[in-house]
Structure 1
Amino acid sequence: MDVPQQLLLLLCVHLSLTGVLSKHIDHRNLFTQRVCCKRQSHFVYIGQDISGSPVSIDVGMCRSHCGGAFRPSHAAGQQEYSKHASMLEFLRSKKTREPAAPESAEALNQLPSCGVDQVCGPTGMRVERVHLQEGPREVEVIEECHCEIKLTQCIRVPALRTYYSETPYETVIDVGGCSRSKGSPEGLSCVPTKFDSALVETPNKVDLIQTVAGCELKESCYRVPYVEYYYETVHHADGVKEERLKEIDVGTCLGGCTTGNRCLLRSPSDPKMCHLWDDRQSSSCVPQSYESHTFLSQHGQLRTVLSITSCLCQN
């Protein structure tokens, strides 16, 4: 047997083995991670620029479900999908056939795009600075998405943000975030309660960026400590006057209430699909109760400082 015939025989054996192995390979994970867990456009209206023109930004969103491209719960669907060499070919073949009955939202939610212990979330984000009529505003934009491990504990997780992208001052900072805990009690969320700061050099000055240092399970609108210091004058029984530092936790309210997120532009063909959102809040997290701290100031004047004890959502 000459050399060309040997090469031809080896090629035939390789193709045969490839065909046999391909029948036993489940392409589902590969396709779902690439096709389903990806960035999609999500335009948000943020206001008017200095010329009065409306400004909307594609902040992006991570698609968390496959949307019914196939039905892994049915054996027939798996057999039908395995006949095609790629996801693209499979989708093209579906277009040539009669349209299937629309699936309910509950059925779509049963099609995860990542593994059982993973979620589809952002892996790269940048902070865009937009100049509006009311002043500059920073908007976080999702650049890429990936499958990440689903955490059951409420802990601080890394969150990289790129500031002043594509400029000589481009800086990447781990601003931190809180895990999307799935084991949270009813009505509680994993939210930031401790903060730190980082410095970012800019063309005009140095910006102070707030970062997350710790997280806890709280309600959507919650109180966090906020310490302030005052000079207090104390008169002792023996007639001695003492000036000392007084620490008061005045507190502050954080968290999200019912946000506007109103749809400004819906799809004519599918009313459930929104092309443009308004992210302005319709309610705010404000103090609900407080307590007073009265003391003599550095100059001997009676001073009262109020500290927040609880917060609630208010329109």
Structure 2
Amino acid sequence: MLVFCLFCFCVSVTGVLSKHIDHRNLFTQRVCCKRQSHFVYIGQDISGSPVSVDVGMCRSHCGGASRPPHEAGQQEYSKHSSMLEFLRSKKMRTRGPSAPDSAEVLNHLPSCGVNQVCEPTGIRVDRVLLLEGPREVEVIEECHCEVRLSQCIRVPALKTFYSETPYEAVIDVGGCSRSKGSPEGFSCVPTKFDSALVETPNKVDLIQTVAACELKESCYRVPYVEYYYETVHHADGVKEERLKEIDLGRCLGGCTTGNRCLLRAPSDPDICHLWDGKQSSSCVPQGYESHSFLNQHGQIRTVLSITSCFCQN
């Protein structure tokens, strides 16, 4: 009798302690940021057949394996000391909502931790010949847990071009960090760009890469420089032809004016499952200035440059 009581005491103490275990400690045991299949229809091939590509997706939650009903019942019964207690608990569950067990709670927790996000490790760029012409499709190859940074910086982003061919090349196209704690309406976006050359069987492809990122509003201006020939007449009568640099500017980003998120993911507030139905606006130039100069033919040429951008309905 004494041994049985000691056994019951140990079981009850273990049960109480297990209820107070922080689930975040289990992240190291169940990190399951994995790539899952995600097929997307991209059009018809040259024969008219539909084409779907598995572009993949990064799954950021642990998914528990389903158990057969009889095994689930046996495990549920093993939690109770007697059949009478099992029947009582089952009757109470039918009257009201029951608290989920630790396994069920864990299956709904983010797999990468509080300050991490499940993101692609590498992306492969496939070229598919469709009826309307060739199209590039980005395919996620692998996923991993990446630390969510607090500052806005450029981060590496590897893309593989012409995979499994003699011209295969891995380029760091770069990206911007998904910084947390950003002010409302601001995002970490690319502001400077560069380029990389990739050799192909037919020509040389020019790949745009991200060089720098800044915290900007959703609709923002980026530099875009062009050069012109300018003719200058000096006081001594000498005519000089030189290059004139003008930053014309470009408007980038998207406008979400009026678009409110109605349902966000409980695990990651950055993920929106449902938006309201209002139409989004476009990012267009707002302010501008003019630059006038004499061209090579002695004619006055005026070029407008963007100074600011805004969201237009």
1:256–1:62 distance in 2 versus 1, CA, 3 Å: farther
Asked if the contact 1:45–1:54 (Cα under 8 Å) also holds between the matched residues in 2, the reply is yes
Q: Does 1:247 align with 2:245?
A: yes
* 1:216 counterpart residue number: 214
- Say yes or no: does 1:63 pair with 2:59: yes
Query: What is the alpha-carbon root mean square deviation over aligned residues?
Result: 3.4
Instruction: Using the TM superposition, give the Cα deviation of residue 43 of structure 1 relative to its aligned residue in structure 2, in angstroms.
Output: 3.1
Partner of 1:140: 138
Q: What is the identity, as a one-letter code, of the residue corresponding to 1:57? A: V
TM-aligned CA deviation for residue 30 of structure 1: 4.8
| 1:305 counterpart residue number | 303
Q: Secondary structure at the match of 1:92?
A: coil
Query: Any unmatched runs of 5+ in structure 1?
Result: 1-22, 70-86, 259-280
Q: Counterparts of 1:257 and 1:43 in 2: how far apart (Å)?
A: 28
Q: Return the alpha-carbon distance in structure 2 between the equivalents of residues 213 and 109 of structure 1.
A: 38
What is the correspondence of 1:1-315 to structure 2 with a 5 Å cutoff?
A: 28-30=26-28, 32-34=30-32, 37-66=33-62, 88=65, 91-92=66-67, 96=72, 111-257=109-255, 284-313=282-311
Do 1:291 and 1:307's aligned partners in 2 also have CA atoms closer than 8 Å?
Answer: yes
Aligned-partner residue type, residue 223 of structure 2: P
One-letter amino acid of the counterpart of residue 188, structure 1: F
The 3 A distance-change label for structure 1 pair 282 and 208 is farther
Q: 1:263-304: per-residue Cα shift (whole Å, max 9, x none)?
A: xxxxxxxxxxxxxxxxxx986543333222111101111111
Question: Closer, same or farther in 2 for the Cα pair 1:245/1:196, shift >3 Å?
Answer: same
Residue 8 of structure 1 corresponds to none
Tell me the CA shift for residue 161 of structure 1: 0.7
Structure 1, residues 93-135: CA drift from partner, whole Å, max 9, x if none? Answer: 67846998899xxx99972211233211111210111233443
- Which secondary structure state, in structure 1, belongs to the residue aligned with residue 30 of structure 2? helix
Q: Where in structure 1 do 4 or more consecutive aligned residues deviate above 4 Å?
A: 51-54, 93-103, 107-110, 281-284
Classify 1:167/1:215 alpha carbon distance in 2 versus 1 (closer, same or farther; 3 Å): same
CA distance 1:310–1:110, shift in 2 (3 Å): farther
Pick which of 41-50 and 184-193 moved more.
41-50
When normalised by structure 1's length, the TM-score is 0.67
* C-alpha deviation, 1:198, in angstroms: 1.2
What is the Cα deviation at residue 46 of structure 1? 3.4
Which is bigger in relative contact order (C-alpha 8 A, separation at least 6)? 1
Bigger-Rg structure (1/2): 2
Aligned length: 244
Q: Which amino acid aligns with 2:300?
A: L
Confirm or deny: 8 A CA contact 1:33 1:146 kept in the other structure.
no
**Shift in CA distance, 308/159, structure 1 to aligned 2, threshold 3 Å:** same
Q: Normalising by the residue count of structure 2, what TM-score does the alignment of the two structures yield? A: 0.67
Unaligned 5+ segments in structure 2 are 1-17, 74-89, 257-278
* CA deviation vs aligned residue, 1:235-283 (integer Å, no higher than 9, x gap): 234433222211000112222456xxxxxxxxxxxxxxxxxxxxxx986
CA contact under 8 A between 1:190 and 1:218: conserved in structure 2? yes
How far is 1:52 from its partner? Answer: 4.7
CA gap of 1:292–1:256, structure 2 versus 1, over 3 A, is same
Tell me: CA distance 1:51–1:28, structure 2 relative to 1, closer, same or farther (3 Å).
same
User: Once the 2 structures are TM-superposed, how far is the Cα of residue 219 of structure 1 from its aligned partner?
Assistant: 1.8
Change (3 A) 1:250 1:134: farther
